[in-house]
């Protein structure tokens, strides 16, 4: 059974549909589910004009970033961005200032796109299943599609790594949700309307940039220092890419030894989990963040998880904290 099938079988498709927001559909890594659904907009309530993908596959804030910055209705829903006149819908987008000529061109393109979508007051929005004429979901067809091998072998390889038994299942699930952009970062909470004040969007650690998964785990100076400490600890160098998916895809590929690569997958999971736990501690309990303590936690957690998954462990915690690569090599040779 493919990893996605295991998740669907355990959680149920209804849970997934209820808990994955519309904005998540744009993530390329979620194609296995969302390629079969499309949002059919009705009255437009509950659908963010700028942030939800209701007009094409990409949200308008990403497609027209300049216009989004100039809009006076950044957080408004579709039904709030116009009004019904008899049997027609008139869009009414207002700007903070008069648009420049090149901005007017983008605004005309935006207008041309949204005018193809009809807002119907009193008609609820709905999800449509692409594989039936009526738009109704079919469990049989869904299972058949989920059972199909992936067209992209590299993508399937990544998913197998995500669900590696080297870490606890809840940590593997967290990594999966991170790659899907499904964790409740501040940016995602803003998109879902949980956080209303845009002033609260910044990272809890650096307080300088918007907190999304890529910033929190890769770009924030706290995260970068932890990754550098891990590189020094393992005696290697690696590149942090612009997003979590690409970084994970390349992570650990610098070694041809499977047991060493497995160790690096453990480190990836441990770093993400440790950062997230520290982040939540600061958000909910105003806990202070000690960077040295975070690195020690990464060492302790990774040792505990590796040891728990090994039938026999021939190295100690002190050995692991000094040279994890040698520990994995020794353990492999003595199996």
Pair (322, 175) in one structural domain? yes
Helix segments in 35-88, DSSP class H: 60-63, 65-70
- Is residue 30 included in any domain, yes or no? yes
Pair (163, 108) in one structural domain? no
Pair (195, 299) in one structural domain? yes
Q: How many CA atoms lie within 13 A of 270 on its CB side?
A: 24
Tokens, residue 55: 């007009």
Pair (192, 293) in one structural domain? yes
Residue 281 confidence (pLDDT): 93
- Is residue 199 included in any domain, yes or no? yes
- Is residue 278 included in any domain, yes or no? yes
Q: What is the mean pLDDT of residues 217-230?
A: 96
Last residue of a domain, one of 54, 83, 114: 114
Orientation angle between helical segments 324-333 and 221-234, nearest 10 degrees: 50
Pair (268, 187) in one structural domain? yes
CA-to-CA distance for 202 and 206, rounded, in angstroms? 8
In tens, the pLDDT along 25-44 reads 333 334 445 556 777 888 99
Tokens, residue 127: 């999800």
In tens, the pLDDT along 280-298 reads 999 988 888 888 899 999 9
In tens, the pLDDT along 102-119 reads 899 999 999 999 999 889
Q: Look at the chain and report how many structural domains it folds into.
A: 2
Question: Is 334 a residue whose pLDDT tops 90?
Answer: no
Last residue of a domain, one of 67, 94, 114: 114
CA-to-CA distance for 24 and 29, rounded, in angstroms? 10
Per DSSP, the three-state class of 143 is helix
Distance (Å) of CA 19 to CA 13, 15, 75, 201: 10, 6, 20, 21
In tens, the pLDDT along 138-171 reads 666 665 655 555 556 777 777 778 877 789 988 9
Instruction: Report which DSSP code applies to 89.
Output: E
Question: H or E stretch including 88?
Answer: strand 88-91
- Is residue 145 included in any domain, yes or no? no
Q: Which residue has the tokens 């290697």?
A: 236
Q: Of the spans 145-154, 223-232, 254-263, which averages the highest pLDDT?
A: 223-232
Residue 152 confidence (pLDDT): 67
Pair (99, 184) in one structural domain? no
Pair (179, 247) in one structural domain? yes
Q: Of the spans 179-183, 198-202, 246-250, 271-275, which averages the highest pLDDT?
A: 271-275
Are 204 and 282 in contact by the 8 Å Cβ rule? The answer is: yes
Pair (175, 229) in one structural domain? yes
- Is residue 260 included in any domain, yes or no? yes
Residue 272 confidence (pLDDT): 97
CA-to-CA distance for 82 and 121, rounded, in angstroms? 11
Pair (181, 297) in one structural domain? yes
The domain of 81 spans 3-114
Q: What is the mean pLDDT of residues 124-140?
A: 71
Largest CA distance in the chain: 80
- Is residue 103 included in any domain, yes or no? yes
- Is residue 131 included in any domain, yes or no? no
Pair (101, 186) in one structural domain? no
Pair (319, 214) in one structural domain? yes
Residue 12 confidence (pLDDT): 42
Pair (158, 107) in one structural domain? no
- Is residue 324 included in any domain, yes or no? yes
Average pLDDT over the chain, rounded to whole? 81
Last residue of a domain, one of 114, 129, 145: 114
CA-to-CA distance for 335 and 333, rounded, in angstroms? 6
Q: What is the mean pLDDT of residues 190-209?
A: 85
């Amino acid at each position: 059974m493919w990893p996605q099938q295991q998740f669907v079988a355990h959680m149920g498709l209804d849970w997934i549909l209820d808990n994955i927001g519309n904005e998540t559909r744009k993530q390329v890594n979620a194609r296995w589910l969302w390629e079969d659904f499309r949002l059919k907009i009705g009255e437009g309530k509950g659908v963010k004009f700028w942030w939800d993908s209701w007009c094409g596959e990409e949200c308008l804030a990403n497609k027209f970033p300049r216009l989004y910055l100039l809009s006076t209705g950044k957080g408004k829903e579709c039904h709030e961005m116009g009004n019904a006149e008899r049997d027609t819908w008139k869009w009414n987008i207002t700007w903070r200032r008069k648009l420049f000529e090149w901005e007017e061109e983008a605004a005309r393109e935006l207008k041309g796109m949204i005018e193809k979508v009809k807002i119907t007051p009193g008609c609820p929005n709905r999800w449509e299943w692409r594989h039936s004429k009526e738009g109704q979901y079919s469990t049989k067809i869904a299972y058949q599609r989920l059972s199909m091998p992936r067209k992209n072998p590299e993508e399937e390889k990544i998913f197998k790594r995500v669900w590696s038994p080297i870490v606890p299942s809840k940590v593997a699930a967290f990594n999966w949700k991170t790659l899907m952009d499904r964790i409740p970062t501040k940016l995602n909470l803003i998109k879902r309307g949980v956080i209303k004040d845009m002033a609260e969007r910044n990272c809890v650690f650096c307080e300088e940039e918007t907190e999304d998964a890529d910033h929190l785990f890769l770009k924030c100076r706290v995260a970068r220092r932890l990754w550098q400490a891990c590189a020094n600890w393992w005696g290697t160098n690696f590149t942090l890419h612009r997003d979590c998916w690409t970084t994970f895809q390349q992570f650990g590929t610098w070694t041809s030894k499977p047991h060493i690569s497995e160790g690096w997958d453990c480190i990836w999971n441990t770093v993400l989990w440790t950062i997230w736990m520290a982040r939540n501690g600061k958000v909910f309990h105003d806990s202070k963040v000690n960077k040295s303590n975070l690195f020690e936690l990464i060492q302790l957690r990774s040792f505990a998880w590796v040891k728990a998954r090994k039938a026999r462990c021939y190295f100690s915690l002190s050995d692991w904290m000094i040279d994890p690569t040698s520990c994995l090599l020794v353990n492999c040779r003595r199996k």
